[in-house]
Structure 1
Amino acid sequence: MVGRLCALRSHHGLLLLAVALAVCALYYSGSEPKKHSSSSKEDQAARSPSPESEPGPALSKSMQEQLNMQDLHLLMMYTKADKSPALGAKFRLALGSLLRSGKLEASEVLNLHFVTDEPSKEVAKTALRDLLQGVPFKYKVIFHDVNTLTEKLFPIVEAMQKHFSAGSGTYYSDSIFFLSVAMHRIMPKEIPRLIQLDLDLKYKSNIRELFEEFDNFPINAVIGVAHEMQPVYRHTFWQYRRENPDSKVGSPPPDGLPGFNSGVILLNLEAMRQSKLYNQLLEPSEVQRLTEKYHFRGHLGDQDFFTTIGMEHAELFHILDCVWNRQLCTWWRDHGYREVFDFYYRCEGHIKILHGNCNTPIPED
C-alpha cells in the first residue's frame, strides 16, 4: 500500500526515513479502493480528506498524528451479490446513509470490513467508488474472503450449528452465520473492538456515537446488543416456559428476557479473548447442556447462541437501547401473538438506526 506521506528529502537522513516508512503505509488520496497484496489476502483502501503538507519540518508533525490515529472498525457480510439485485440496493442504502451521517474526529479512521466472495467484492468496489466520493473523514476498506473465514470458523462453531442453523444438519457453509460468536479468535489481536452490522439497515445518526456505547459496558460484559423486538423467543422457548411458568425466559422487557437481535452487535474483542466464562460457553458440552435445558432449537445463527447463553449469563451483555436497532418486522403479530406483540415492539426515543428485518421496507424519510 502506498502512503501519501512517504516522499522524504534526502537531507533528512536515514533515521527520519526509517520512522516515516514505519507509519506512512496506511493512507493514500482518492475514493477508489486500492489493491493490497498480503498473506491475509485482504484488499485495503484508505483515504485522507485533504492534501498533506509538503516534506520538510512539518512532516514530523504529520507523522506523529499518524501514530496517534484511532481506528474504528465496522464489519458487514456481503455475499452472493451478483445473484441478488435487492442485496445491492440494501448495500447502497446502508453504506450511503452511514457515510452521509458519519462525523469523525480528525484523529479517527473508519475501517470498513466486508466479508465477500469474489463476485460480490467486485460489485462492492463499483458501488464504493460512488459512495465514498466526498466523504469528509479518513477511512479504510478491507475485504475478507468468505471461504477463508469459514475455514477458520468451522472447527469452533460446528457443534452449535445443529442447534442454531436453519438446515437439518451441520453444513460447512452455515459457519459464517456464527462469525460474531468467534470473532475474537478470527480477527487480529491488534483489533480490540469491532461492530458487526447487518446490511438491511438505515442510519439516522452519527455512527461514531455507537462506538461510544463501548464505554457503557458493565465490567464483565463482552458484547453489546439490543433486545429482539418480536416474540420470537417466546415462541421458541415454549416448552421451557410451559414447564417453568414463573420464568422470565421469552417474556417482554423491561422485566423479561426477550432474547437478542443480532442486526447490530458491539464486540469487545479484547474482553471476549480474556473472558474465561465466554470461552467456556463456546465448548460443545456447554452448548449441548444449555440447549437441552431450554429445549432450544433455532435457526438464526449467532442470534440464537447469544440469546441462549444470555438466559443464564446476562452479565456478559450490555443491552443497547432499542433506538440503535429499531426493528421494523411485524411478522409475529399476524402469526399468533397479536395480543402481546406491542409489549415487545414498542420503542421510544429518537431512532438512530432502522432495521428492515424480514425484508420489511425501510421508510425513505
Structure 2
Amino acid sequence: MWGYKVIVCLCLIYLTPTNSTRESEGSVFDQIFEDSLVLPGEIKYTSDEFLHMGIIFCNVTFYEKDTGIETTKHGRQFKNMIRSLFKSSEGTPLHMVFLTDQQSKHFIKQIMTSEIVKVLRAASIGPGTEINDFLNVYREGTPWKFPRKLRVEFADINYFSTTFKEELDHLKLWYGNMGQEEVKIGSDGKTYIYTISRKYQKDLFYIAPFYHKVFPKELKYIAFFDVDLQFKKDLSELIEHRKFMSGSEAIAVGLEQTPHYYLVSVNHRKKYPDSKIGFHGKTQGFNTGVVIYDLEKLRKSEIFDLMLTPENYRTWVYKYYFYGTVGDQDLFTQMYWEVPDLFYILPCEWNLQTHKDPSMSVETEKIYPLYHDCPHEPKILHDNKYIL
C-alpha cells in the first residue's frame, strides 16, 4: 500500500543481462535509494535542487505479501503511478519521501526497481556517479524521460503515532466518524448500502497537520500525493503554483469534484439560509489527493497551530452540522470555511477526479456536473472512481 517480475514482450529478444549491464543497474540503484528507515526529521535531501514529493505507503499485509502485492488493487495503483511519473518526467530532479514502515519499505523498493529496470533495459543509462542524460524511450509515440536526479528516502510513519498520539486521537474523534449503515436508492433505481470504510480509523489519515513540525527545517515544502494518481505532466508545473500563493496561503489543494460537502452540510444551510457553504465554487470542499504544504509558512503561521484544538473541532462540527469521516481532508475543508486565507486552491486539472457515486439520488445527479466541471485536460488524473 510484493513479488518482483520484469516482463518484456515487444517482439524483441532479450538475452541474459551482461555483467556490465548489471553493474550499470546496480550503480544507478545505489545512487537512487537510501536503504535505512529514518525518522522524518532525519531525511537527507532538503535543497532546492530537487522537487520534493511525499507518498504514504504502509501496512502491507501478510496476505498481500503471499499473493504478490502487484496483483492487489493498491499494488497496481502504485505501479501505474510510478510508471506515469517517469513517463511524464521532463528531467526535473526528484526527491521522493515515503512515509512507511519496515515491512512495507521492501515492497516499495521492489516495485520502483522493477519500473526503473524497464527504463534501463529500453535505453542504457550506463555506469557513473550521476544520471546525466534524458532518456527518450518512445511508448505510443510519447517521449519517456527520466529525472536527471532521483533520490528515494524512507521515513518511519509510526513516529507520528508515538509523538502525536493525543492529537491524533482527538482528530479521529471528530473527523473519523464511522456513522451508521445507510440504505440509498440511486438514480438508476438500484438499492445501495452505504458505509464508511474502517480504514479511516488509521492514524495515517490524520498526520498532515503535523508535517511542518517533524520534517527538517531546511525542507521548505513538500507535495503529497495519493497512490491512485496518473501523472500527465512534469511536476515542476505543479510546484510553480507556489509562486502564485499569497503570503498567508500555506497549503495548496484542489477542490472535491462531487457534491459531497454540499450534501453533508445541508443542515447548516437550513439554520443559516444565506450561507453558501457547500455550493459549487470555492466553498465546495477539498480533495486532498494532491496537496502542496509550504512548510516554511506553516512554521511561521501565527494561527495554524492554534486552530488545531479539540475545542475548535467541536465548534466546527456543530456549526457545519457534520462529523468528518475521511480524516484531515474534512479538517482542512472546515478550516478553509473558517480561515480561507490559509489555503490556495489548485486548478481543477491538477486533481481531476473520476469518482461518481452510483448511489446518488436523481436530485444530486442533476447538480453533479456543476461540481465536476473542469474545462482543461487533466495534468494529474485521480482515479478514485467508485468500485462496487
Same fold (TM over 0.5): yes
In structure 2, the residue matched to 1:59 is none
Identity value in percent: 27
Residues 188-337 of structure 1 mapped to structure 2, 5 A cutoff:
188-253=216-281, 257-331=283-357, 334-335=360-361, 337=364
Cα RMSD between the aligned structures?
A: 2.9
Question: Where do 5+ consecutive residues of structure 1 fail to align?
Answer: 1-27, 47-66
Find out whether 1:143 has 2:154 as its counterpart. yes
| Mapped partners of 1:233, 1:245: distance in 2 | 16
- SS of the counterpart of 1:250? coil
Letter in 1 for 2:54: L
Residues 1-365 of structure 1 mapped to structure 2, 5 A cutoff:
29-31=27-29, 34-37=33-36, 40=39, 70-82=49-61, 83=64, 85-105=72-92, 109-133=93-117, 134=120, 135-167=146-178, 174-253=202-281, 257-331=283-357, 334-335=360-361, 337-359=364-386
- SS of the counterpart of 1:94? helix
| Mapped partners of 1:30, 1:266: distance in 2 | 29
Query: Residue 304 and residue 136 in structure 1: after superposition, are their counterparts in 2 closer, same or farther (change >3 A)?
Result: closer
CA deviation after TM superposition for structure 1 residue 244, in Å: 1.3
Is the contact made by 2:231 and 2:379 (CA closer than 8 Å) also made in structure 1?
yes
Deviations 1:251-308 (A, max 9, x none): 112xx51000000001001101111111111122222222222222121111000000
Is the contact made by 1:75 and 1:196 (CA closer than 8 Å) also made in structure 2?
yes
Which of the pair has the greater relative contact order for Cα pairs under 8 Å at 6+ separation?
Answer: 2
| Mapped partners of 2:109, 2:203: distance in 1 | 25
Is the contact made by 2:33 and 2:153 (CA closer than 8 Å) also made in structure 1?
no
- SS of the counterpart of 1:276? coil
CA deviation after TM superposition for structure 1 residue 34, in Å: 4.3
Letter in 2 for 1:291: V
Deviations 1:169-197 (A, max 9, x none): x9996322122222111212121100010
Q: TM-score, normalised to structure 2's length?
A: 0.72
Query: Residue 35 and residue 350 in structure 1: after superposition, are their counterparts in 2 closer, same or farther (change >3 A)?
Result: closer
Is the contact made by 2:358 and 2:386 (CA closer than 8 Å) also made in structure 1?
no
Letter in 1 for 2:380: I
- SS of the counterpart of 1:112? strand
- SS of the counterpart of 1:214? helix
Give the paired residue count: 308
Question: Where do 5+ consecutive residues of structure 2 fail to align?
Answer: 1-25, 121-145, 180-197
Is the contact made by 1:241 and 1:249 (CA closer than 8 Å) also made in structure 2?
yes
Greater mean alpha carbon deviation, residues 125-134 or residues 296-305: 125-134
Deviations 1:310-340 (A, max 9, x none): 1121111111000000010011673451111
Q: TM-score, normalised to structure 1's length?
A: 0.77
Is the contact made by 1:165 and 1:301 (CA closer than 8 Å) also made in structure 2?
yes
Deviations 1:101-124 (A, max 9, x none): 11245xxx3111112233321111
